[in-house]
Structure formats: structure tokens, C-alpha cells
Amino acid sequence: MKFQLHAQLEADTFVVGDLPLCRLLLMNDARFPWVILVPRRLDVSEVYDLHMQEQQMLWQESALVAEKLMQLTKADKMNLAALGNVVPQLHVHHVARFKTDAVWPKPIWGQGTAEPYSESDKQLMLRNLSEMFRGFLISGQSLNV
């Protein structure tokens, strides 16, 4: 069976590309620079469902994503979370937070309403992310942005 992204993630995000283990997604909420890693494995809802080598790769990719997103945004704090209460497919949120954002220092979940990216801002963010991850992505936006 082929990897398939959960319908909710597909509806709420844009694909940036694929890292060796994970699909890298941009959350469609312009209030926060917010990307999500989803291991391209079937029926995985918890980190411990991955093989040990894949667990290590997930955290390596997560550290890379956090570092690159911090470099891109110059955020005050990087928030990481793997909640899974709404979307059972294992996914790790990486949210760049600023002391000036509307909900600081509270968690972003359940705070306000998502503000979708304009088409131009979406394209700019996807281009910036693709450039930041050039050399790391094995497929995706970096090939056609």
C-alpha cells in the first residue's frame, strides 16, 4: 500500500516536499510560520510505531526543520508538538513563535481563527522554504519553484 496523507492534513496544508523520511508541509495559517513533518509510513500514529532508525531520522529531520525555520523567520521560540488528538496520523508541528504574535505566550491551538495565505504569500513562503531546504528535499516544490 502507498503512503497517503490524512485528509485533514491534506485540506489544511501545502506540500513543500519530501525529506528522506517525512513529507514537509506548510500549514495554511499566515498568522504563524508553521510547518509539519509527516513520516511517509503506513498506519503510524505514535513515534514508537516507527523502527528505531526511523525514530532517529524523524528527530534528525525535526531538528533540521526547526533550525532552518528559525533561520528563515528569526523567531523568538520554536514550538514542537506531536498531538494527534484530531489527526491520528503521526505528524510533528514546528511553529515559529514571536513575542509579538497575537496569542503569545499561549499555545496556538484553539486560539483565534486561521488566516489562509494569500496566493502571493503562499508562493513566497513555499519558495523560501524550498530554498532553505535545497539539498535536503528529495522531491517536491524545490523541483518546480
Report pLDDT for 140.
63
**For the segment 58-103, what is each residue's pLDDT rounded down to a tens digit?**
999 999 999 999 999 999 999 999 999 999 999 999 999 999 999 9
**For the segment 20-31, what is each residue's pLDDT rounded down to a tens digit?**
999 999 999 999
Ordered by where they begin, the domains of the chain are 7-135 (3.30.428.10)
**For the segment 116-133, what is each residue's pLDDT rounded down to a tens digit?**
999 999 999 999 999 999
DSSP letter string, 65-134? HHHHHHHHH--SEEEEE---SS--S--EEEEEE-TTSTTTTS-STTSS---PPPHHHHHHHHHHHHHHTT
